[in-house]
Amino acid sequence: MRIFIEKILLELSQILEKPVLKIGETSISFASLLQLVFSFVVVIIFCRILYNLLKNKLLINFGIDEGNREALATIFTYIFGSLGFLIVLESTGFNLASLAVLAGGLGIGLGFGIQNITANFISGLTLLVERSIKVGDIIELWISEEFKTLQGRVKKITLRSTVIQTLDGSSLIIPNSELVQKPILNCTYNDSNVQICLSINIEYGNDPLIVTEILLDAAYMEPLVAKDNPPQVIFNGFANGYLDFDLRVWINQIQDKNHVRSILNYAIEYNLRRQGIYFVTNRYVNEKSFSLYSQYNKFETQQKKISLRTLLRQVIYFQNFNDLDLRKLLEIGYRQQIKESEILFKENDPGDAFYIILSGKVEVFVSKINKHLTTLGKAQFFGELALMLAIPRTATVKALEDTTLFVINNQGFEKLLKGNPELAEEIVNELAKHQEELTSRQQQLREMGLIDESEDDINPVVWVRKRLKKVFDL
């Protein structure tokens, strides 16, 4: 029996070692083919592991963004894969010179047949190297001569094709040559956020500043709207008896675009209606419709909330601002919500923002000695001195109920001062009325080593003037 098995193995070995193909001087047997296939499978598995390791672990540690991680991982994987295939061919006894002759002969015959594959391959390399389109980018494609477009997020780029996830969640696989040869709108080439633009037409006779405030309120109250790229309101002008506005906001996820647009439309319509402001249903407003608007406006006057413009004018530093100055202030500031019992800031935190309470209540206290100082509510403001003088907080502020704040941070305040140079001197004059407090704050900063000799002065008013110029680079 053992002799029989040995005989079968010997015959099988002879069959496997028997040459079945000859390329140049190289003879190819079944055994070498099996070895070649197995080696290629090992190289492919290794390349997949290398790709995932680079993309999901190693390159993340270097702080590289998703798009560049994808490109680098793909390029390195193809390089190591190509080297691996060459090493496998050499190790299994294949003569690469003979294969080159064969490839040249086949290339002449198949050149025309694989030109599209070659074009896609070269285009894929171009996309990965140039990175004009990266994984994570939002792009818009022209898919027909009638200028029909399709928008989606780039999910994956290979050497042959690119996978794009459309707004409805489907995956579009498109040859790379299409992305290189045809015009592509990259919505996130320099910025990862996606813009939403809402057009709002308001009946003539309304206050543009109030409309601006309502639109910005709606944008800031929506959590999905990006806060690092502030919303903008554009007043396009007057036409056919209506006021034409655009609200522009940015979001981080393209799949949220229609959802956020719907939420903002609901919020804008509700808040405008509460203020007695109505959309134009007919762009040609006649006397009758304007009369109806006036009646609605009169009917809902008592339901209107106190405008932010009114609140800002209660702040002594802004009481002389005209409507144009207040509009700038509305765009510089932003809304912030804090929950009941949430701490807004603590003692010795940086004084980097000024707050106006739009709704709710906050408690101001000194936690070190457990002393209650005051309770502030709607239309009251705090934190302006710490912001203006860039000094640490002297108290802790905690929300007593869900509270909405209008916030002007140090970057916004610097922009405000540079746009209104006379405001700095008005602030100095107003602070001069409280010299005792200024002297106390000045001494506090001296003890903390936060005042240098160039700005210090025995006169606290002179010190404040120097301090403003230094802190806000005036």
Q: Which two tokens stand for residue 402?
A: 């869900």
Say yes or no: 317 and 256 in one domain. Answer: no
Domain assignment present for 451: yes
How many C-beta neighbours within 10 Å does residue 375 have?
A: 12
Strand partners, 194: 251
Say yes or no: 351 and 410 in one domain. Answer: yes
Domain assignment present for 145: yes
Say yes or no: 69 and 166 in one domain. Answer: no
Residue 65 contacts by C-beta under 8 Å, 6 or more apart in sequence? 134, 136
DSSP 28-57: EEHHHHHHHHHHHHHHHHHHHHHHHHIIII
Say yes or no: 365 and 405 in one domain. Answer: yes
Domain assignment present for 118: no
**pLDDT for 190 beyond 80:** no
Domain assignment present for 156: yes
| Entry pTM | 0.52
Strand partners, 23: 26
Q: Which pLDDT score is estimated for 433?
A: 74
Q: Which two tokens stand for residue 98?
A: 């003979």
**pLDDT for 389 beyond 70:** yes
Structural domain of residue 403, as residue ranges? 311-471
Q: Which pLDDT score is estimated for 457?
A: 74
**pLDDT for 297 beyond 50:** no
Say yes or no: 86 and 47 in one domain. Answer: yes
Please state the rounded mean pLDDT for residues 358-366: 91
Q: Which two tokens stand for residue 257?
A: 């675009």
- Name the band, by pLDDT with cuts 50, 70 and 90, for residue 426: confident
- Among residues 328, 335, 332, which one has the least CA distance to residue 235? 328
The CA distances from residue 48 to 3, 39, 44, 337, in Å, are: 45, 14, 6, 46
Strand partners, 246: 199, 234
Say yes or no: 74 and 163 in one domain. Answer: no
Say yes or no: 9 and 95 in one domain. Answer: yes
In contact, 180 and 139? CB cutoff 8 Å: no
- Among residues 369, 314, 365, 371, which one has the least CA distance to residue 344? 365
Say yes or no: 335 and 462 in one domain. Answer: yes
Residue 243 contacts by C-beta under 8 Å, 6 or more apart in sequence? 201, 202, 203, 204, 206, 208, 211, 235
**pLDDT for 325 beyond 80:** no
CATH number of 409's domain = 2.60.120.10
Q: Which pLDDT score is estimated for 285?
A: 42
Give the best-scoring range by mean pLDDT among 109-118, 278-287, 332-341, 438-447.
332-341
- Among residues 449, 18, 66, which one has the least CA distance to residue 74? 66
- Residue 453 phi/psi, 5-degree rounding, is -65, -30
Residue ending a domain, choose from 77, 110, 143: 110
CATH number of 253's domain = 3.30.70.100
Q: Which pLDDT score is estimated for 296?
A: 41
- Among residues 333, 346, 344, which one has the least CA distance to residue 401? 344
Give the best-scoring range by mean pLDDT among 1-5, 109-113, 286-290.
1-5
Please state the rounded mean pLDDT for residues 355-361: 89
Domain count along the chain: 4
Which single residue is written with the structure tokens 């403003």?
468
Q: Work out the angle at residue 458's Cα, subtended by the Cα atoms of residues 457 and 461, and round it to the nearest 5 degrees.
A: 75
- Among residues 152, 148, 127, which one has the least CA distance to residue 255? 152
With the C-alpha atoms ordered 76, 82, 85, 87, is the resulting torsion angle positive or negative? negative
Residue ending a domain, choose from 277, 305, 333: 305
- Name the band, by pLDDT with cuts 50, 70 and 90, for residue 294: very low
- Residue 393 phi/psi, 5-degree rounding, is -70, 140
Say yes or no: 318 and 465 in one domain. Answer: yes
Give the best-scoring range by mean pLDDT among 9-13, 169-173, 174-178, 243-247.
243-247
Domain assignment present for 280: yes
Domain assignment present for 18: yes
- Among residues 71, 73, 57, 79, which one has the least CA distance to residue 162? 71
10-48: pLDDT as tens digits: 666 656 566 655 555 556 666 667 777 777 788 888 888
Single-letter code of the amino acid located at 122: I
Say yes or no: 267 and 320 in one domain. Answer: no
Say yes or no: 104 and 136 in one domain. Answer: no
- Mean pLDDT, the chain, as a whole number? 76
Say yes or no: 157 and 203 in one domain. Answer: no
Residue ending a domain, choose from 186, 206, 229: 186
Domain assignment present for 56: yes
With the C-alpha atoms ordered 361, 366, 367, 369, is the resulting torsion angle positive or negative? negative
- Which range (87-91, 134-138, 256-260) has the least confidence? 87-91
Domain assignment present for 242: yes
**pLDDT for 169 beyond 80:** no
**pLDDT for 102 beyond 60:** no
Strand partners, 398: 343, 363
Dist. CA 123–CA 142, nearest whole Å: 18
Dist. CA 100–CA 174, nearest whole Å: 31
